[in-house]
């Protein structure tokens, strides 16, 4: 029997996006819908959405939210994502801004109130909509107040009596950590400011509260699930996670294979498939031409797309650039990141090294071309909860070179260690030398054209869709509901 499932997230593709969370929040509901469930999404209505070209239905619902003695009104707008209804909570003061979470320089100082308003509005509007979810699936700290409020304030509310709450941690490093007086700003009781609830070294930690309040906590890969219970990767919450180990589950994200499909992607130069790879060769030549690189099929091309920040291994990349620049190969880099990393990349770019292309920013048009036109895809991450880029690379026949951590360890099998099943190349030590060794092993394998095509096809034929993950979430939801009865 189908379940009623509400997915709550602060960003959802294509409405608003800063990272992989938005892709997950869009793809998982569609996969659950295909399994026969009544799935709906709710998110904030940011300025970029309200002023964009989203075909809204007329807003019919509203809610009055009390925060710190002030009454604030939220309106509900409705759109759709495929066949999944998408509800957007509108409040122009909180969400009518240029950015989702803050400017490039700093986060908005009233983020606790902004997302407290959002979470409280979600719970009120569910009643106005008369939609009683079997499961509310929350994502990251911006939605953490939902399980907290349901346990601390609405435990006796019959409307939510049989509603289970699943909370997914996409990146433990982002915890919703605020000063102590944020508790009152969010309308929460001072009684919650204790070490066994929201207090964390004198501050309020929303992620901690959600971990303790949710029925089940999930992470986005099995390896990351194990890693975050250790002092090395627990970001200070390893003890809290260990205490809830029985309720902690790792489910690897999937990929929206309708969007990322080299056989049908209109954003790339030429389409191709595992059966017919000729188009990939053309994609490489056209990409080289567009980026101003030497147009040559024989020169290996390494792609890298993503955020240029510490998590993604920017230190390793920057230290490797001189070596890469002196080799008979090419590098195509696309992304943006913190100010210091951008400055260092800009400094290297100004040297005019001819075989390395660096493009700053998020370019929806260029990213697919790099995935399709590159021979190798580099992900030297310090840590990686799941990673979607390596899945896209596999889908496009671009062989990943990754650090063995988190979701990268779960999805990439090293060809050197396992020639029959390998789909990429990996290294474990977080050093430039270890990364360079993996690149060299990949380049050596690239010289064997027939062997390389086998590696490419192995990756392209793997099931990286949401099918398996959605089935695991479905099973998890049913287990939660059984415990609720």
Residue 456 counted as domain residue? yes
pLDDT of residue 324: 96
The answer to the question of whether 280 is labelled as a binding residue is: no
Q: How far is the C-alpha of 303 from the C-alpha of 331, rounded, in Å?
A: 6
Residue 270 counted as domain residue? no
230 with 113, same domain? yes
113: domain CATH number is: 3.40.50.2000
Residue 113 counted as domain residue? yes
339 with 380, same domain? yes
Residue 16 counted as domain residue? yes
Tell me how long the chain is. 485
213 with 111, same domain? yes
Number of domains in the chain: 2
125 with 210, same domain? yes
Residue 273 counted as domain residue? no
- pLDDT tens digits, residue range 176-233? 999 999 999 999 999 999 999 999 999 999 999 999 999 999 999 999 999 999 999 9
Residues 6+ positions from 154 with CB-CB distance below 8 Å: 123, 160
Nearest C-alpha neighbor of 345 from the set 377, 322, 327, 364: 322
Residue 241 counted as domain residue? yes
207 with 331, same domain? no
- pLDDT tens digits, residue range 328-365? 999 999 998 888 999 999 999 999 999 999 999 877 89
- pLDDT tens digits, residue range 375-406? 999 999 999 999 999 999 999 999 999 999 99
Question: Residue ranges of the chain with pLDDT lower than 70?
Answer: 58-60
146 with 73, same domain? yes
Q: Give the count of beta carbons closer than 10 Å to the beta carbon of residue 299.
A: 16
Q: How far is the C-alpha of 8 from the C-alpha of 44, rounded, in Å?
A: 9
Q: How far is the C-alpha of 43 from the C-alpha of 359, rounded, in Å?
A: 31
Residues 6+ positions from 81 with CB-CB distance below 8 Å: 12, 14, 15, 26, 29, 30, 41
300 with 203, same domain? no
340 with 410, same domain? yes
Q: Which domain holds residue 222?
A: 4-254+467-484
122 with 14, same domain? yes
56 with 194, same domain? yes
Nearest C-alpha neighbor of 452 from the set 331, 330, 270, 281: 281
59 with 162, same domain? yes
Residue 260 counted as domain residue? no
Answer yes or no: pTM beyond 0.75: yes
Residue 272 counted as domain residue? no
- pLDDT tens digits, residue range 165-186? 999 999 999 999 999 999 999 9
432 with 472, same domain? no
């Amino acid at each position: 029997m189908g379940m009623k499932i509400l997915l709550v997230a602060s960003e959802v593709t294509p409405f608003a996006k800063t990272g992989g969370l938005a892709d997950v929040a869009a793809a998982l509901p569609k996969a659950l819908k295909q399994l026969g469930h009544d799935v709906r999404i709710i998110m904030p209505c940011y300025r970029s959405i309200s002023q964009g070209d989203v075909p809204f239905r007329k807003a019919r619902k509203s809610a009055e939210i009390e925060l710190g003695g002030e009454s604030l009104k939220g309106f509900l707008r409705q759109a759709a994502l495929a066949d999944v209804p998408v509800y957007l909570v509108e409040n122009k003061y909180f969400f009518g801004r240029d950015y989702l979470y803050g400017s490039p320089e700093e986060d908005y100082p009233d983020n606790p109130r902004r997302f407290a308003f959002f979470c409280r509005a979600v719970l009120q509007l569910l009643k106005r909509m008369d939609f009683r979810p079997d499961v509310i699936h929350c994502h990251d700290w911006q939605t953490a107040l939902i399980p907290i409020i349901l346990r601390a304030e609405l435990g006796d509310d019959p409307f939510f009596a049989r509603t289970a709450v699943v909370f997914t941690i996409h990146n433990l490093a982002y915890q919703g950590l605020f000063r102590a007086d944020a508790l009152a700003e969010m309308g929460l009781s001072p009684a919650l400011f204790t070490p066994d609830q929201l207090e964390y070294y004198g501050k309020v930690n929303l992620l901690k509260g959600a971990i303790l309040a949710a029925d089940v906590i999930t992470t986005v890969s099995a390896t990351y699930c194990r890693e975050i219970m250790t002092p090395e990767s627990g970001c200070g919450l390893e003890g809290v996670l260990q205490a809830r180990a029985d309720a902690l589950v790792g489910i690897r994200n999937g990929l929206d294979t309708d969007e990322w499909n080299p056989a049908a992607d209109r954003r790339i130069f030429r389409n191709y498939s595992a059966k017919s790879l000729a188009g990939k060769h053309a994609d490489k030549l056209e990409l080289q031409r567009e980026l101003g690189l030497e147009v040559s099929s024989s020169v290996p091309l390494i792609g890298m797309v993503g955020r240029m920040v510490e998590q993604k291994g920017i230190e390793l990349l920057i230290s490797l650039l001189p070596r890469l620049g002196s080799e008979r190969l090419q590098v195509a880099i696309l992304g943006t990141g913190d100010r210091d990393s951008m400055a260092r990349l800009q400094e290297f770019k100004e040297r005019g090294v001819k075989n390395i292309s660096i493009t700053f920013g998020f370019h929806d048009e260029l990213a697919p071309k790099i995935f399709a036109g590159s021979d190798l895809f580099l992900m030297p991450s310090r840590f990686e909860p799941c990673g979607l880029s390596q899945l896209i690379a596999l889908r496009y026949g671009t062989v990943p070179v990754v650090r063995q951590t988190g979701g990268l360890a779960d999805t990439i099998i090293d060809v050197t260690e396992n020639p029959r099943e390998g789909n990429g190349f990996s290294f474990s030590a977080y050093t430039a030398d270890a990364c360079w060794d993996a690149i060299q092993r990949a380049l050596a394998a690239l010289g064997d054209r027939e062997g390389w095509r086998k590696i490419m096809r192995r990756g392209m034929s793997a099931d990286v869709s949401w099918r398996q993950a959605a089935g695991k979430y479905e099973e998890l939801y049913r287990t939660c509901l059984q415990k609720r009865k």
